[in-house]
Each structure stands twice: as C-alpha cells, then as structure tokens.
Amino acid sequence: MTMTEAAAGETTAVVEARKLGLTFQTNDGPVQALTGVDLTIGKGEFVSFIGPSGCGKTTFLRVIADLEKPTEGTISVNGMSPEQARERRAYGYVFQAAALFPWRTIAKNVALPLEIMGVPAAEQKARIARVMDLVNLTGFEKKYPWQLSGGMQQRASIARALAFDADLLLMDEPFGALDEIVRDHLNKQLLELWARTDKTICFVTHSIPEAVYLSTRIVVMSPRPGRVTDVIESTLPRERPLHIRESAEFLAIAHRVRDGLHAGHGYED
Amino acid sequence: MDRARDKIVPVLTILAGLVVVWYVAAVLLNAPFQRDLDRRAGETPDTIEFIAKTLSQPKPTMPAPHQVAENFFENTFLRKITSNRSLVYHAWVTLSSTLLGFAFGTALGIVIAVGIVHVQALDRSLMPWIIASQTIPILAIAPMVVVVFAAVGITGIVPKSLISTYLSFFPVAVGMVKGLRSPEFMHLDLMHTYNASASQLFWKLRVPASVPFLFASMKVAVAASLVGAIVAELPTGAVAGIGSKLLAASYYSQTIDMWSALVAGSIVAALLVTLVGLAGRLVDRSMGARPA
C-alpha cells in the first residue's frame, strides 16, 4: 500500500505531502524551489506559510492546486492526486491580485466558476447572494471591478473562490497589496468566515502578525533550496479579537516565527 | 464641452494653415502657365488680376480650394444621386465594395488569428506568409484577381472587394493574435483551477479580452479597405467608383474633378474610421469599461 492510498483512508488529511520537491529548469540551470517537504494538513485547519521570497511557499500552494507539477515525492489532496482534485473542483484559489475580469460585473465575476461548472441559473443566483453576504459586498453586485476599492476587489475574489463551495481554500498573499488598516479588517473578516464555514485554509503570507493572528498552524519556510524549517502550533483560542495581537501569548508565537525565519538564514545576503 | 473645444480649436487652426499653404501653392504652380497664356494673348495684368486668374483656370495644375469646394458641392448636392457625375453615386459604389471587403477581411483575420493562437503548426507556418502577403504591391495583384475571377464567371463587386479583403485581413489578424494572447497568467491560472474546457477558456476569457484589440485593428482595416477598393477600380476598367472617377479625370486633365473625388474619398474614409471607433466605444461601454 502506497502512502497516497493510506492517506485516502484517513478522512482528516486534506493535504498530505511526503518528501515533496520541485526543481525548475531555467536558463541559469536548475533551481530547487522546494525540497523535502513533509506536511499533513488536516480538515478545518488554518495553515499559514511564511518565509522570505524564494522560499517556495507560493510554489507549494501552486503544487496543491495542480498549477505546478512536483518533480520529487508525493502529494495528495483529499486523498487524490492534485490533478484529480482540481478536476473535481476541490479547492478555491485566491491570487495575490483580485484577478477579476474587468468586463464582468462583480456578481458576474462571482458567477464565473458557477457558469463553468454548469450550475443552474436559479442556484447561481442564490449562491451569489450568499457569498456576497459572506464577504459583506451585498449591494455591489452590479458594479464593475474598477468601481471598487482594492480591498473590496479582493473580497469579491474571495467570494468567487467560495461560490462553488469547495472545502479547501488556497490563498496566495491575498492581502499583500493592501494597506494595513484594510488588511486588519479583512483578516478579521476572514477569521469570522472561516469560523462560520468550517473550511480548510492554506494561506501564504510574508507578514508575521498576519500569520500568527490567523493560523492554527504556521509553517516557516526558508529559501535556496525552498524547504520547511519549522512548524508552529498556535496556542491561541479560535475566537480572536484584534487586540489579541498585543497579548503575551501572541507575541511569544510571533517571536518563535521570527526565530524560525532567522534560523533559516532567509534574510542574510 | 471644454473637451470638444480643446479638440476643435487645434484642428481648425491646422486646417486654416493648410488652406493658406494650398492657396499659395496654387498661385505658384499655376503661374507659369498663366504667364504663358498672357504672353500669347499680349495681356499685361497687374498682380491682383494675375493672382485671380491663376486661381480660376479651368484645368489648373493645382486647383484652388474654392474651385474644389465648388466642384465638390455641385457634384455632391446638385446632381441626382443616380447620375454618373454624382460623387454620391461614385462614393456609394466604392463604399459598398469597401464594406463587403472589410466584412470579409475582418472575418478572415479573426479566423486566421484563432487558428494561429490554437494550432502551434499554424503559428509557425502562417505568420511569415501573412507578412509576405502585405509586401506584394496591391496594384500588381488587382488586375490579376479581377481577370481570374472574370474567367470563372464572377464579376462585379466580389472581385473588387477581395482587394479590400486582401488589405484589411492583415491588421485584424495581427491585432487579434495579440488580443487573444492578452489574458494575464493569473486569469489563465484561474480558469485552470476551475478545470475550464478549451472552449470555455476561449469564449469566457480570450474573446472578451481581445475585443479592444479587435476594434483598434478594425479602425486600421477599414481605412485599408477603402484604399483597396479605390485601387481595385484603377487598373480594372471599372466604370463607377471614386477610383474610376480619379482615373477618368486624370485622362482628361480634369484636375478639379480629381481633387473633389479625392475629397469625397477622404470624407468616406473619415466617416468609416469614426463609425468603427464609435462602435468600439459603445461595445467598450457595454463591457463595463471605465468612461475615459
């Protein structure tokens, strides 16, 4: 029995990576984007990936999403290969930018995956209304993306990822381009949303406070070659008001994350 | 309102400048012949009289603006539009062939672009030929096209409009290849995460993304179509159209007629480009573009 089949037996593992590696062939020779990644993500977890640029955190997310193929090791998503999981629309992906289609209204953008998946029109309508409410965008259905602020656009893109009810949400620095006030606000909303929907979330960030505030588990990564250097279980309660970020417990976890980043020599040279 | 004025004032200034230059040129270019005439008639007009005469010759080397304007007005508004001296009639003949050729050309350009974007073999093999096709002088091809089609019994508007097609498919093909390839990686990845089929990717992402490119290249294509239609009328013995009017007028040295035919052609061209631009703006607006 292979590892993948074993994982399929357990109902709790959403993502399971074993000795996962990915080497890009570039003009300057091979680049090891990921090497030796062993990680299991359980159902309902909120896992953050943090590390400096080039540590492979986005690459790992893209491997889960079947946007990149690993060159070593195994990975399963919901007990299947990432490709099978993608074909079954197992996850919603939120990119660094909102990536809304400028020629579609917000509601039409949210409807895009539903149209592609052949959801009947009446149900599309109900689902759009539900996810627009989840991200607090009710009333903006008929607006075009350029009429919305950056934060609202990113919320619309989260609504789009939620629209088809995948249990797994992959988020690649979704708030990286937003200012801190908007980011705080969206972090809080994201936590509320996670609490309400019981989804599994993989979240890439390079902000330590963001990672600590959001996650049940923090995966610290380091570059050249991209690898996991530390996995930190958060001891914070699930209920997290914004001011929890000033608590000693929060700062202790943040400190450990920072230590992990330094140990990976990520910020030298 | 202010924006309109910002546009109109510079355009009118340039126009006034051009008219002045035109008058000066007309006097200078027509002067030698007028001097010759006066010498033979034994007249010695003063300067004012002389200038007036250079601007009112029946077959001047360079017609004065008011002569062209008068001729244009007469042949546009005072003739029945069925008369073969009417510029409206000639413009219509050229316009109909332009539009047919433009429609063919746009369709052909789009089909070629779709092929190039989706079939790698076409991408490598077709583009050099398409570029080469535009280096062949159109005047050399036009008579051959007409003769070949006449030999198989096809005459009239179709062979003529094919010349327009030949010129107009190129900008559309090039623009659409660029347009269909314009979606960002992120949008392509997004469609991939939805496991979208190739046709969904095409219709929901590539086509809408290419629309602005389509209209930009259609603007170029419609002007090229008109040139094609006029050129097609020159060597093919056409009896009607702006091109045939130009040719006939040049046979008989009716320079004023030539110039007013040129003016008619320019007006048709300006109208066509404006219309395509307007259509593009409307489509843009309906696709939610930010008003400029």
User: pLDDT-derived band of residue A165, with 50, 70 and 90 as boundaries?
Assistant: confident
Q: What are the structural domains, with CATH classification, of chain A?
A: 3-90+168-263 (3.40.50.300), 99-165 (no CATH)
- Most confidently predicted of A111-120, A223-232, B69-78: A111-120
Question: What pLDDT was estimated at residue A177?
Answer: 81
**C-beta pairs of B68-72 under 8 Å, 24+ apart in sequence:** B68/B256, B68/B259, B68/B260, B68/B263, B71/B256, B71/B257, B71/B259, B71/B260, B72/B260, B72/B263, B72/B264
Residue of chain A with shortest Cα separation from B286: A103
- Whether residues B195 and A93 touch (CB distance < 8 A) is answered with no
Measured CA to CA, the distance from residue B78 to residue B72 in angstroms comes to 10
Question: What pLDDT was estimated at residue A265?
Answer: 61
This prediction has a pTM of 0.83
Joined together, the tokens standing for residue B56 give 């009112």
- Whether residues B191 and A116 touch (CB distance < 8 A) is answered with yes
Phi-psi domain of A250 (left: phi exceeds 0; alpha: psi -120 through 50; beta: other): alpha
Q: A141: which chain B residues are within 8 Å (Cβ-Cβ)?
A: none
- Whether residues B288 and A102 touch (CB distance < 8 A) is answered with yes
Q: pLDDT tens digit string along A5-31? A: 444 444 578 999 999 999 999 888 888
Q: A95: which chain B residues are within 8 Å (Cβ-Cβ)?
A: 186, 189-190
Residue of chain A with shortest Cα separation from B287: A103
Question: What pLDDT was estimated at residue A216?
Answer: 93
Q: A156: which chain B residues are within 8 Å (Cβ-Cβ)?
A: none
To test the contact with chain A by mutation, choose from B182, B184, B190 the residue with the greatest count of A C-beta atoms within 10 A, namely B190
pLDDT at A269 over 50: no
| Ordered per-residue pLDDT tens for chain B, 292 residues | 567 778 889 999 999 999 999 999 999 999 999 999 889 988 888 888 899 989 988 889 899 999 999 999 988 888 887 787 888 899 998 999 999 999 999 999 999 999 999 998 888 888 888 888 888 888 888 888 888 888 888 877 888 888 899 999 999 999 999 999 999 999 999 999 999 999 999 999 999 999 999 999 999 999 999 999 998 888 766 778 898 888 888 888 889 999 999 999 999 999 999 999 999 999 998 888 777 6
- Whether residues A113 and B211 touch (CB distance < 8 A) is answered with no
Q: pLDDT tens digit string along A99-110? A: 999 999 999 999
Question: What pLDDT was estimated at residue B236?
Answer: 66
| Matching CATH number, B87-286, of 1.10.3720.10, 2.60.200.20, 2.30.30.50, 3.40.50.10860 | 1.10.3720.10
Residue of chain A with shortest Cα separation from B291: A146
Q: B191: which chain A residues are within 8 Å (Cβ-Cβ)?
A: 116
Q: Please indicate whether residue A185 or residue B262 has the higher confidence score (pLDDT).
A: B262
CA distance B209 to chain A (A): 8
Question: What pLDDT was estimated at residue A242?
Answer: 85
Measured CA to CA, the distance from residue B195 to residue A93 in angstroms comes to 12
Phi-psi domain of A75 (left: phi exceeds 0; alpha: psi -120 through 50; beta: other): beta
Measured CA to CA, the distance from residue B194 to residue A152 in angstroms comes to 22
Q: A89: which chain B residues are within 8 Å (Cβ-Cβ)?
A: 194-195
Residue of chain A with shortest Cα separation from B188: A99
B34 contact partners, CB below 8 Å, separation of at least 6: B50, B53, B54, B57
Question: What pLDDT was estimated at residue B221?
Answer: 95
Question: What pLDDT was estimated at residue A3?
Answer: 44
For this complex, say whether ipTM is above 0.90: no
To test the contact with chain B by mutation, choose from A59, A116, A165, A168 the residue with the greatest count of B C-beta atoms within 10 A, namely A116
Q: Please indicate whether residue B86 or residue A2 has the higher confidence score (pLDDT).
A: B86
> Residue B227: which of B268, B176, B174 has the closest Cα?
B268
pLDDT at A54 over 90: no
CA distance B168 to chain A (A): 27
